[in-house]
A and B are shown apart, each in its own frame.
Chain A
Amino acid sequence: MNMETTTHSDDGLDLGVYLALLGLTAATLAASHFSHGGRIMAVALALIIASVKASLIGFYYMGLRRERAMMFIILGIGVAAVLILLVGILPDMTFGRF
């Protein structure tokens, strides 16, 4: 049984990612006050910032940056399924038949 341990962490990088996540949280709050440009813009801005935060957590804290291609395939299936669900309802919304 292989019991060896590999250290992947970098204390400085972990702290930097944490500070970036806090900064992006502040940006989310600030952006909500400047999003009078329309509903879609407000939603898009919120989702873009959330996606950046999620990517930082995924790549650095969950270790995706050094992960095998298999994990990206698994993750990709989930992201694609959610995008299909989100985009699939848009035509119905667009034509106002909700």
Chain B
Amino acid sequence: MDAAITMDADWREEDGGRVGLWLFILSEILLFGAFLASYVGTRLGNTECALGVVAWPEAGHLPGLAMAALNTVILLTSSYTMVRAIARAERGDRAGFRANMIATIALGLGFLVVKSAEYALKVSHGYYPGSELAKLNPGLSIFLSYYYALTLLHGLHILAGLVWNGVALYASGDAPMPAVARRAEYAGLYWHFVDVAWVFLFPLLYLI
């Protein structure tokens, strides 16, 4: 049954690769999880940037929120195109795989472009640690430190994912399709994890 969790012992060679990748994802969960737990704890215990109240000052908040929402849609769409790329590779459709992988990479680059524009907007309003505005408001300064640390960390993961996806695309030129499908599956696992990380960062950093 396709939906059943497999418990038998007939391990195949590619299963080892997936276990390795899931162990790598475990280390990433711990990294982001520790940051997020620290962030939640800080904002729960700090009345100046209390959790449950939007931390961003009003000026420029809506354009920044719109950009973050757009980036959420971009990343979710890139996860969908990645799933399609893997499916095409599994079916032996090289052209379909390449088209969907190119779309995934383009969407990832789009995420970074929108994020850069959002940073520019925030800096123009003085929303960065050490600014005059932040010095007057210690709570905002703490929040901004977390905001930049978490979004830059996530941005680095997007960059790493783009490199991984690019390698999978480049190596798909004349490789056997089962090998292309396996590389796509591994790249996809990482890319989807980066998407999951953003799914948690978006509401915690922009909406509450």
Alpha-carbon gap, A86 to B43, bound state (A): 12
Interchain Cβ contacts within 8 Å, total number: 184
Any chain A CB within 8 A of the CB of B179?
Answer: yes
- With a cutoff of 8 Å between Cβ atoms, the chain A residues found around residue B77 in the complex are 18
Contact A57 B195 (CB under 8 A): yes
Contact A5 B83 (CB under 8 A): no
Listed residue (A40, A47, A62, A89) with the most chain B CB atoms within 10 angstroms of its CB: A62
> In the complex where A40-B52, A75-B22 touch, is A9 in contact with B90 (Cβ < 8 A)?
yes
Any chain A CB within 8 A of the CB of B138?
Answer: no
Alpha-carbon gap, A67 to B84, bound state (A): 19
Alpha-carbon gap, A29 to B42, bound state (A): 23
Question: Could you list some 23 contacts between A and B, CB below 8 A?
Answer: A3-B176, A5-B178, A7-B91, A8-B90, A9-B86, A14-B80, A25-B73, A35-B208, A43-B40, A46-B208, A47-B203, A50-B202, A53-B196, A54-B200, A57-B79, A57-B195, A61-B192, A62-B193, A71-B22, A78-B33, A89-B37, A93-B44, A98-B42
Contact A43 B178 (CB under 8 A): no
Chain B window 1-37, contacts with chain A (Cβ cutoff 8 Å), 1 for yes, 0 for no: 0111111000011110011001101100110011011
Any chain A CB within 8 A of the CB of B53?
Answer: yes
Alpha-carbon gap, A2 to B50, bound state (A): 55
Interface of B: prevailing SS:
helix
CB distance from A51 to the nearest CB of B (A): 8
Alpha-carbon gap, A2 to B13, bound state (A): 7
Residues 3 to 59 of chain A near chain B (Cβ within 8 Å): 3-9, 11, 14-15, 17-18, 21-22, 25, 28-29, 32, 35, 38-43, 46-47, 49-50, 53-54, 57-58
- With a cutoff of 8 Å between Cβ atoms, the chain B residues found around residue A68 in the complex are 5-7, 15
Interface size for chain B: under 10, 10 to 19, 20 to 34, or 35 or more residues? 35 or more
Q: Which of A32, A62, A90, A96 contacts B208 (CB 8 A)?
A: A32
CB distance from A38 to the nearest CB of B (A): 6
Alpha-carbon gap, A65 to B4, bound state (A): 7
CB distance from A6 to the nearest CB of B (A): 7
CB distance from B51 to the nearest CB of A (A): 5
Contact A74 B19 (CB under 8 A): yes
- With a cutoff of 8 Å between Cβ atoms, the chain B residues found around residue A43 in the complex are 40, 51-52, 204, 208
Alpha-carbon gap, A77 to B40, bound state (A): 20
